[in-house]
Chain A
Amino acid sequence: MSPSPAPAEADGGPAPSGRFRRGRPARGGRRRRTGAPLPLLLPALVGVCFLLLPLLALLIRAPWRDLPDQLTSAQVWQALRLSLLSATAATAVSLVLGVPLAWLLARTEFPGRGLLRALVTLPLVLPPVVGGVALLLALGRNGVAGRWLDEWFGITLPFTTTGVVLAEAFVAMPFLVISVEGTLRAADPRYEEAAATLGASRFTAFRRVTLPLIAPGVLAGAVLAWARALGEFGATITFAGNFPGRTQTMPLAVYLALQNDPAAAIALSLVLLAVSIAVLAGLRDRWLTAS
């Protein structure tokens, strides 16, 4: 479980602040330069230690000498490849479905919009295992909808890579929707209105005006979703099972390795840690160039 929230939380911090900075530049300028009072400084430092110590421990306890052997094993590469592949596919699914959904939530008025918004962001707070059980009951071979998929098309989703992608998209898409919706709300709708007065259809305005306008937000949301998908564990193991090369992603490999080969688990965790740091660094860079 532990690997899944880590990247999301790490990314969750800079995401909104970056957005706000772009949206409301005044806020970034209001910076106080007074010395920190002790009652604030002390808990803050404890907080820093609490967040960084586990990561440091990972580095300290890492089997550096065996690391090359651990990381070049076929199973690690298989898991890493599958993780990158499925996280990217899940992000693509999230983009295709999530951006229109975010637009719908931000730009149109209809009864029950608030409720819909709450419902589609539910997977953000839902324990991933619950998500996995729900997916199984909906899309499993014997599931509410999955039964018909199986009967009509002979498609079964559990135990397949597609199942992994679906589990990851289920958990990651809300991150993208929230991020894009926020950007859309911050973007000035008058540009779209201007495009409309010039004769552009609503879809053309969205494609030619809105989308380029919110591109940085979409990108940030996509990276967030990708990182969340990469760390996804609970829904994946529940819905897609665990088979090396097909459904065993890195977090699953870490969890199972921990039971009989802790050194391998640490090595795998280091890889995920490195990827997470790379994502953060990449995100930072993008934002700097974008703003």
Chain B
Amino acid sequence: MIRTSRRARRRMLAGVGVAAVLVTAGACSSDSGGSDDASASGGGPAKPSGTVTVFAAASLQESFTALGKKFEKEYPGTKVTFNFGGSDSLAAGITEGAPADVFASASPKTMKTVTDAGDAAGTPSTFVRNRLEIAALPGNPDRIASLKDLTRPGLKVVLCAKTVPCGAAAQTALEASGLKLTPVSYEQDVKSALTKVELKEADAAIVYRTDVKAAGDKVEGVEFPESAEAVNDCPIVSLKHAGNTAGAKAFIALVKSAAGQKVMTTSGFLSP
């Protein structure tokens, strides 16, 4: 807290004297409440402090956890807490008043639920894109090479529920290829679909490329050309009822920064 105001003061003293005093006062008071940060950020980005609560799609878990650590290191005294889950239930939670500062969704459609409800502060922006991949058992014992192979009888395939982005994307890819696929289960989010393959209960799942990568050698990824038809844009936005506006803005800035994008692309995401 002390460091925050001191830094702000130093920055301001380099500028014009009178304004510096005024804004320093603003910056000091901003330490106590998040809403004041927003007004202080008029002159330049306010120093984030306190806890930033991020609601993020299950597929972002690994990369965002890494970014959260980076954020806490960059802004000492801050803490980033995550709520990872199916984008749809997260969006439903936000519109029902869940206390979140940032929402990162796996598809524009779920983001729209939040913007339509008037819960977003500003316009969402796409920060990465994600592509589908088939997650097969290690060593690919079923020799799955294409989307069509998944329709083979006897093969246990798991899809995401059509209401969550990975399920909607899989549906789009299947429709684009004209294939009819009957899964054994429609899982509630991408991670639980992947888990069923990791536990070897299912032979394959259609998940994101990033999830296959995150699972390491527990599954084997099989790319398929139809995935190009169903690339999901991941939008991010700060939320109107956020308690920590400065923190939200700083976190989004980090995600979109060159360093943040590097973390995202090493996880397998595509830059927008």
Least CB distance, A4 to chain B, in whole angstroms? 15
**A255 / chain B contacts, CB cutoff of 8 Å:** 188
Q: Which stretch from B5-13, B20-28, B67-75, B179-187 is at the chain A interface?
A: B179-187
Report if A259-B201 is in contact (Cβ < 8 Å); known contacts: A159-B184, A242-B161, A242-B188.
Answer: no
- Expressed in whole angstroms, the Cα–Cα distance for A159 and B199 within the complex equals 13
Contact present for B200 and A242 (CB under 8 Å): no
Given contacts A136-B199, A256-B161, contact A242 B185 (CB under 8 A): yes
Question: Contact between B196 and A241 (Cβ–Cβ < 8 Å)?
Answer: yes
A162 within 8 A of B: no
A260 at the interface (CB under 8 A from B): yes
Q: A136-B199, A142-B199, A159-B156 are in contact. Are A243 and B183 (CB under 8 A)?
A: yes
B106 on interface, CB distance cutoff 8 Å = no
B201 touches A141 (CB 8 A): yes
Shortest CB-to-CB span from A170 to chain B, Å, is: 17
Whether A136 pairs with B89 at a CB distance below 8 angstroms is no
Interfacial residues of chain A within 131-165, with CB under 8 A of chain B in the complex: 136-137, 140-142, 156, 158-159
Q: Is the CB of A242 within 8 A of B186?
A: yes
**Which residue of B is nearest A157, CB measured?**
B201
A-B pairs, top 10 by smallest CB distance, nearest first, are: A241-B185, A159-B184, A142-B200, A259-B88, A260-B163, A158-B201, A259-B163, A140-B201, A243-B185, A242-B186
Interface residues, chain A, with chain B CB atoms under 8 Å away:
136-137, 140-142, 156, 158-159, 237, 240-244, 247-248, 255-256, 258-260, 262
Listed by A's residue number, 28 A-B pairs whose Cβ atoms lie within 8 Å are A136-B201, A140-B199, A140-B201, A141-B200, A142-B200, A156-B156, A158-B196, A159-B156, A159-B184, A159-B185, A240-B185, A241-B158, A241-B185, A241-B186, A241-B187, A242-B161, A242-B187, A243-B183, A248-B186, A256-B163, A256-B188, A258-B89, A258-B92, A259-B86, A259-B88, A259-B163, A260-B88, A262-B92
